[in-house]
Amino acid sequence: MRKLSNYLLEKRLITREQFEIGHREHIVTGQGLGSTLVSNGFLRRTQLRAALLEIDPAALMGEDDLSVELKLPRDFMLATRTIVAGDLGDELVIATLHPEPEFVRAGMQERLPGKSIRLGSAPVLQIHSRLRTMSESSGVLDRIKVAEDEDINRIIETVFNEAVRVRATDIHLEPTSHAFNIRFRVDTVMSHEFTLPMGKYDRIIARVKDRASMDVSDKRNPQDGAFSFTHHGVSIDCRVASVLTAYGEKLALRLLNKDTVLIDIRDLGIARTEEWLELTRQRDGIILVSGPTGSGKSTTLYSTLMSIDRLHRQVYTCEDPVEYRIPYLNQCQINYNTDPPFDYAAFGRAILRLNPDVIVFGELRDEETVKYAIRSAETGHLVYGTVHNNDAATAISRLTELGASIEHLKHLIRGVLVQRLARKLCNSCRGAGCDACRGGYHGMVPVVEFVALRSPEEVVALQERQLPYYTFQDDAAAKVAAGLTDCRELSRITAREVKFCRDGRCTVPNYSQCSNYLT
């Protein structure tokens, strides 16, 4: 078999230095070389899958941590005895036992128009095993059966599996006066999933809290905890928070799937990506990432930091909490329980003694933190910070409200990115609604404002709203033109009517048929 290392080096997917580092760690830990390169951020998981499919498909099928989530349409795949052998983003590789593979490929292409379908191979026993798993998990869950099931562990496992299947980011366990509701947040929208009898409530809450190393006996005080579980070979971290409500203790669970968050910044859908990445090569200054809570700021920051040369630069972050651990990144956790508390300001006071090149403040929330961010930038460091505001101009004003002077800022601000998340139109139904989506949407795409600032005069002009730049309206029109989202969704996330239509026709360039014309 052609060696994976030779293939990756020949294709220039990794450097010789990255290979040597990965190889040393692979020898010490016993972890596969490919997995080691991915965990260190030297190689994207999709690139590794593509390489393994090219040199040895059986090796891909045999690695648990690279097992691919089984894709819809399940009925067709079961009928034709077909599995997904590799998901390469825009291209899906399938393996089938059907006597007419080309018929299967064409059928999959018709059902998944947004992807290119390629025929691959896989061991027969692996195909049978995956088909058995698919058969057991196919279809809509029988909620009545779940509600009547006395096995608490099975109920919890069912809830987690369903949450991962529908791509939920949050699970909410909520008691009421007469029942126990379980709701999911999918693509930022809440949906009701299960109703269970209150007789199961205490046992389910206790089991989840115990798993998260929380105090099961304390139901009055808010608590935090965490645990991990595995779904189809993928490890998912679960962060748990509790609070006492009028009807009893409520739990909110955040699901953190590293594979879906730590992706290449070019795959996020951010406009002006190359200009944004150009800022990462600056040696000093302040770069701001802004937007409301839940707008994807952390994902953008993590993906941006993954693109930085972390092997040759010292990068420090201060986070509350540290959600995803990134190799060759010094990630510091906020802790308000120490004396004195370790907060953003304490991080700012300590960081310059640690020889940093890049410093990331999880939030610029008070005067002292902003003061240390400015001091860090003035002494030759590149500083990232997040703030809460609605557009690029007010990001500068937000810092001046926190005590920064425009005389300092105009020499330090290098760029501002403001973003919100919009749901993407489903590739299969284009917004009409189908089995593969939720209400016509599937997945998320950022809608952004972005401005790179190249002089003190431009910083002042931006604050005074006299500087032209790429606005939310510009990006919204581009996303509609590309068929990624629609006016209905843009109106939802902005709480105001957004439309690019006149007389029933969409006026966005190159987009002649708007699926949601707003009158």
Domain ranges of the chain: 4-137, 143-258, 262-506
Distance CA 387, CA 370 (A): 11
Distance CA 316, CA 516 (A): 45
Instruction: Find out whether 449 and 391 touch, Cβ atoms under 8 Å.
Output: yes
pLDDT of residue 264: 82
Instruction: Find out whether 256 and 163 touch, Cβ atoms under 8 Å.
Output: no
In this structure, which long-range contacts are made by residues 437-445, counting pairs with CB atoms below 8 Å and at least 24 apart in sequence? Answer: 438/166, 438/186, 438/187, 438/189, 438/191, 441/187, 441/489, 442/187, 443/167, 443/187, 444/187, 444/188, 444/296, 445/269, 445/421, 445/479, 445/484, 445/485
Q: Tokens 């990331």 appear where? A: 360
pLDDT of residue 461: 95
DSSP string for residues in 152-212 = HHHHHHHHHHHHHHTT-SEEEEEE-SSEEEEEEEETTEEEEEEEEEGGGHHHHHHHHHHHT
Distance CA 13, CA 303 (A): 18
Tokens of 172: 């909410």
Sequence-separated (6 or more) residues with CB below 8 Å from residue 26: 32, 33, 36
pLDDT of residue 517: 37
Distance CA 107, CA 101 (A): 10
pLDDT of residue 96: 87
The reply to whether domains 143-258 and 262-506 share a CATH topology is no
Distance CA 182, CA 194 (A): 5
CATH tag, 262-506: 3.40.50.300
pLDDT digit string (tens) for the chain, length 519 residues: 358 888 899 989 999 999 999 888 888 887 788 888 888 888 887 788 788 777 766 555 544 333 344 445 677 888 888 888 776 666 778 888 888 889 888 888 887 777 788 888 777 777 877 777 776 654 434 444 444 445 788 889 889 989 998 899 999 999 988 888 999 999 989 998 988 888 888 889 999 999 999 999 999 999 999 999 888 777 899 999 999 999 999 999 999 987 766 778 888 889 899 999 999 999 999 999 998 888 888 889 989 998 899 999 999 999 988 888 888 999 999 998 888 999 999 999 999 999 999 999 988 989 999 999 999 999 999 999 999 888 999 999 999 999 999 999 999 999 999 999 999 998 888 888 887 788 889 999 999 999 999 999 999 999 999 999 999 989 998 998 888 998 889 988 887 777 776 555 555 544 444 544 333
Class of domain 143-258: alpha beta
In 3D space, the residue among 248, 160, 256, 168 whose CA is nearest the CA of residue 205 turns out to be 248
Q: One-letter amino acid identity for 179?
A: A
In 3D space, the residue among 277, 276, 284, 288 whose CA is nearest the CA of residue 394 turns out to be 288
Q: Tokens 């009925």 appear where? A: 75
C-alpha distance from residue 464 to each of 388, 395, 453, 458, 468 (Å): 19, 12, 14, 10, 11
Cis check for the bond before 340: say yes or no (omega within 30 of 0): yes
Phi then psi for 31, rounded to 5 degrees? Answer: -70, 150
Strands (E), 462-506: 501-502, 505-506
